Chains A and B, each alone.
Chain A
Amino acid sequence: MAYFAHKDFFGDTGLYEFVQQVMSGELTLSWYHPGTEPARCRPASAVRGLTYADCNVGTYGYDGIPEFVRGRNSMAARGSLLWGALPDIGYTVNRKSDVWSDNVVALYEEAKTRRWTPAIDIPWATLADAARPPALEAATAQLCTTLEEMALVAMEAPGRWVYLINQEFLEVKSFLCGQMLDEARHVEVFRKRALTGGQGLKRASAPVEQALRELLAAETYPQASLGINVVLGSLQLAIYRHLAAIADSTADRRIFGFSMQDAARTVAYGCGALRYHLAAQPHQARALCERLLETEHTIVGLLGSPELSEPLIILSGGGLESEHRLRGAARVRRWLRRTVEELFARLRHAGLGSYPQESRLPACFANALAA
């Protein structure tokens, strides 16, 4: 125990008297005229229901959150009356432009609408019946082992920040909780996929985990969001999209198609948050650019790991024979080129245009992608 009540209430005669007063019908009604804003929000669209956007009114709305949230360090709901000895919960992320994104409200609503359940939304029985070449199944098992590792870290990342982010940013915290749920679903679905194919899990990856650990350990929220939502999220999105495109079964197409939807939301939030952050704090562009330059080697660590790149080549080529591997390598090269271009484009659009010019990745990839 780290926090205690300021008194032993069982020995507090004042409390007994107060309870006696209320329970004898003499109500205080101290809360009855709080002076807060009356509100009657209505759904703008009956089909869409009552969204957070519909509740964006007056003192309750997110538009009115100031850039610096001062004097609101408790759990009190935004717009309610603060009174008495409210505790300081200990939030350390109190600046709107450190966390906010203009699309976060819509993305939260989307996350709830597009929920799926791995246990029942994937036709597992059809996978169990399908006879697949062992090399392809082994490659899928290895890939799913690595993707489970990545999803586990992506699930932990928002958890590290949610409890540090001020309660006033309710919509952001809610979105991050949805993100945790998405990643829990990915941990689950990739594990289940690996364990249904007859191969079991394969090998954890030292380079992948070293890279993930470095991305996870960001010291500020903007850095963390950049590393996890934009960089890692972009890679996950690209991997899922590629795997959905080359999947040879309905089950795999669904697994990676659904996962892609979730990852796209993460990337959209990450890019939106980065854009908002740089618009409000343009001087941070240099610091974030430096952060990217320091950590961009993790992209190589992730994409270059044998546990990720080799099964991708096998699956992309359709087998383990020489011609398959050559075809797979060619496809993966194209995929890599597009993946890195997309990441750079996102960073440019979000306001980090200087980074691609300073990055060592283009040279590295030019070598790697030279056929």
Chain B
Amino acid sequence: MAYLSTTNFLDDEAYLDRWQYTLRTGELDLSWMNAATERIACRPQSPRRGLTFRDLDVGSYGFSAMPEIIRDNRSFAPRGAAMPDGLPDAQADVNLKSEVWAYNVEGYYEEAMSRQWNATTDIAWAELAEIELPEAIGKAYAQLLTFLTEVEMIATDVPAKWLGRLNADFFEVKNFIATQAMDEARHAEVFRKRALTTGYGLMCASPHNENNLKFLRDGDSFAEVSLGLHLQAEGMVLTLFRFSEFISPTDADKKLFRLVMQDEARHVGYGMQHLKWVLDHFPEKRDAIHRYLDEAENFVFGAGYCAEVTEPFIILAGKGLAQEHIAEGIRITQRFQLKQIEEYFERLAKCGLPERRERSKLARARELMQAALDTPAAG
């Protein structure tokens, strides 16, 4: 038994007597009616948008007034409710607001709720099933989808792992994390289903990338995990989705990538606004962030070994396996890789980490790639 309630209610005669008396007579204690909580009546600011968490940001119920350190609630009590004696300790590991908070997290949550889509019905599957892709394109696409299926499931595990570890007062973040877990389940679903409609099925796993995923999964703190997952990994995946939309073989596939991009952009948005929050409120964490990114970028660079990701991309971008297609595919893929890394550093700069570029080996590698591309081939 992992936790035992302070009382066995079936053995608590006073508790049972009171309850039985209440049920028999309708006589009520009603002490809860006098709870010393704020009396408020929130209203939707915009009828079109409905009643949002922002409309509830009032007094002791609001997130604006939440202190940096949550000292007075370690239970499941809703923020702003009266807290009687005897509440359990929910054993939250994360009780510092700056560990989890992000500017506009409440907005990201509302957006996630209103933009849920359905991988079963929102894609033209019947139409896709009739499309016969050329073998090279079909296999390359099935391989890319296999990789994406693999990547997405980590992003269900990571938020789920942390959800229960956050203090109940951070429910806006917990709720956002729950939406993210569902978003990622939907992504794994849609990529898997698409792979299974190509005629080729799923293909090869990607060992290097899986080690990278384990790195993301096993972060020591929520802030570390968010930096790695939301900002670095999902940021790069967002660029990948954008290029995948560009190179994907049918209109229905383009729609698929547009839908997943919408979700991914929200996760990246949370990651950026969280890092910005951390840097605004705890500039002393800057060095720890750099140390984490050093290793995260090491994994990113090591992905150069992943032929099972790069090569399908080249074939899809070049639209075939013939030599001229491969040459064109390489040209587009190199542009994509440069863009992916560039956008990553731009995001970090926007969050308040412009010096990352100076410190980063990945940035230097990008400069070399750019220089090689800018130099006309000899002869």
B interface, by DSSP: helix, strand, loop or mixed?
Answer: helix
Given A206-B86, A301-B7: A87 touches B211 (CB 8 Å cut-off): yes
Cα–Cα distance between A75 and B157 once the two chains are bound (Å): 10
- Report the count of interface residues on A (CB-CB < 8 A): 157
Are A55 and B192 neighbours in the complex by a CB distance under 8 Å? yes
Are B185 and A27 neighbours in the complex by a CB distance under 8 Å? no
Q: Interface stretch among B243-251, B273-281, B309-317, B349-357?
A: B309-317
Residues of chain A from 50 to 73 with CB closer than 8 A to chain B in the complex: 50-52, 55, 57, 60
Residues of chain B from 218 to 277 with CB closer than 8 A to chain A in the complex: 218-220, 224
Cα–Cα distance between A207 and B6 once the two chains are bound (Å): 9
**CB neighbours of B315 from chain A (8 A):** 27
| Contact among B47, B75, B299 with A204 in the assembled complex (CB-CB below 8 Å) | B75
Per-residue contact bits, chain A 303-337, to B (CB 8 Å; 1 contact, 0 not): 11011011101100100001001111100110010
Are B120 and A174 neighbours in the complex by a CB distance under 8 Å? no
**CB neighbours of A301 from chain B (8 A):** 5, 7, 9, 15
B24 contacts partner chain A, Cβ-Cβ < 8 Å: yes
B38 contacts partner chain A, Cβ-Cβ < 8 Å: yes
B282 contacts partner chain A, Cβ-Cβ < 8 Å: no
**CB neighbours of B90 from chain A (8 A):** 213
**CB neighbours of B312 from chain A (8 A):** 31
Per-residue contact bits, chain A 180-203, to B (CB 8 Å; 1 contact, 0 not): 110111011001100111111111
**CB neighbours of A4 from chain B (8 A):** 215, 295
Residues of chain A from 22 to 45 with CB closer than 8 A to chain B in the complex: 22-23, 25, 27-32, 34, 36-43
A interface, by DSSP: helix, strand, loop or mixed?
Answer: helix
Cα–Cα distance between A196 and B305 once the two chains are bound (Å): 56
Q: Which residue of B lies closest to A299 (CB)?
A: B9
B98 contacts partner chain A, Cβ-Cβ < 8 Å: no
Q: Which residue of A lies closest to B41 (CB)?
A: A198
Q: Which residue of B lies closest to A327 (CB)?
A: B26
Q: Which residue of B lies closest to A360 (CB)?
A: B10
Q: Interface stretch among A116-124, A270-278, A279-287, A343-351?
A: A116-124
Are B181 and A191 neighbours in the complex by a CB distance under 8 Å? no
A246 contacts partner chain B, Cβ-Cβ < 8 Å: no
Shortest CB distance A32–B (Å): 6
Are B204 and A34 neighbours in the complex by a CB distance under 8 Å? yes
Shortest CB distance A180–B (Å): 4
A158 contacts partner chain B, Cβ-Cβ < 8 Å: yes
Are A40 and B188 neighbours in the complex by a CB distance under 8 Å? no
**CB neighbours of B171 from chain A (8 A):** 152, 187, 191
What 9 additional pairs, Cβ within 8 angstroms, besides A22-B311, A181-B181, A297-B10?
Answer: A41-B129, A49-B121, A109-B120, A112-B119, A119-B113, A152-B171, A195-B41, A201-B81, A209-B87
